[in-house]
A and B are shown apart, each in its own frame.
Chain A
Amino acid sequence: MEITIKIFRYDPEKDVRGHYETYVVEGDENDRVLDVLELVKGKSDGTLAFRRSCAHGVCGSDAMRINGRNHLACKTLVRDVGANITVEPVLGLKVKKDLIVDMDPFFDNYKKMLPYMINESPLPADGRERLQSPEDRARFDETTKCILCAACTTSCPSYWANGEYYGPAAIVTAHRFIFDSRDEAAGERLQILAETDGVARCHTAYNCTEACPREIKITKAIGEVKMAMITGKLD
């Protein structure tokens, strides 16, 4: 089948602003949008720049706007978006070239959440694992699935308006540790999230939950963090 793909292009060495270029390629309805981009790069225009790595929805490299909504290009089939496709970089992060955005601000916010286990208590008597019940593990299972693709954060209108807002992905990361029974720094993370740029900036537009390629219920996770902050309870 013939696939028409309109791609946002921007070369920082030549362009003052971005523009769109349209390519027509032969593909299959079962191709992924990433395959179509590879076809364009391989056969039509080798200068096209986009991120990709595992190409199987795990590394989170290829988040982009496909037909106006954030998706991972490697998880989006042509048959689901049609033969006329528009591909643009995600919103709210600086475009470096074509579909590549500057992810540094995103990861800076991620790091502010102390994204690692903090437990200063002595090890158990056997000196091995800090055990956890299946119920305690299930409490934060949802938010362990995040692959840091930034599809959620860059779909959030609050983040578009204010880049200082930590954003949904950072809060999801905080949730993963706040509700982990083995971690001892929930209070510290809740303190960080209580700041001006924390959870109060979430206005439940729900774009993040719909954009997440891992189907994490992000708005719910943010809601749970808000409640933990208000009540001081983690159950």
Chain B
Amino acid sequence: MGLKRGVSLSAGLRYKGPSGYLTYILHRIGGLGMAIFITVHLLASFIGGRTGGFFNGIYENWAFQIFIFFCVLFHAINGLRITILDLWPKLLDYQKEAIWLEWAVFIPLFGISVFVIMNSALGG
């Protein structure tokens, strides 16, 4: 007798992990976002017509583009951090600093990109 071992998504997300846990979650969201983008893109290409146009409208929307750019950029930079730490485990002593460095690289790059996307979407 006893409760099952399964951990629900909400229970997992409510766990108060450190900064590494946030990047872990965002990395998964990034991967999922890219999968959604590719699916929508393929559907738009293959279906055609009004339905295809609908899917086209989704991924050409500037808000969706900002989301996808977040997914791609974060997934790439975080993946690079993980790869470097995996190849040189001694650097794991500086895991927290590595995460701060990751945000220091990500935030300005993402900020500039959001500005460019919004400027061209709303200004032109």
Contacts and interface: CB of A to CB of B under 8 A. Distances in A.
Interface stretch (A92-100, A108-116, A176-184, A185-193): A92-100
A207 B18 contact: yes
Contacts of B2: 12, 94-97, 102
B16 A69 contact: yes
Contacts of B14: 68
Given A204-B82, A204-B85, A223-B86, A94 B21 contact: no
Contacts of A220: 89-90, 92-93
B17 A155 contact: yes
Interface string B13-32: 01111111100100100000
A212 B63 CA distance: 41
Nearest to B20: A206
A91 interface: yes
A160 B12 contact: yes
Contact of A94 (B5, B86, B93): B5
Interface in B28-74: none
Name the interface size band of chain B: 20 to 34
A20 to B, nearest CB: 13
A94 B95 contact: no
Nearest to A11: B1
A160 B86 contact: no
B95 A69 contact: no
Given A69-B17, A95-B2, A204-B20, A219 B11 contact: no
B15 A226 contact: no
A210 B18 CA distance: 7
A39 B17 CA distance: 28
B95 A209 contact: yes
Most B C-beta atoms less than 10 A away, residue of A65, A91, A161: A91
A118 interface: no
A104 B90 CA distance: 33
A28 interface: no
B7 interface: yes
A224 interface: yes
B4 A94 contact: yes
Interface string A199-219: 000011111011000000101
Nearest to B13: A157
Contact of A205 (B7, B21, B86, B92): B21
A223 B88 CA distance: 8
B3 interface: yes
Nearest to B95: A206
A12 B90 CA distance: 46
Contact of A217 (B1, B4, B93): B93
Interface in A216-235: 217, 219-220, 223-224, 226-227
Interface in B80-99: 82, 85-87, 89-90, 92-93, 95
Q: Which 5 A-B pairs have the closest CB atoms?
A: A206-B20, A223-B89, A160-B7, A12-B1, A68-B16
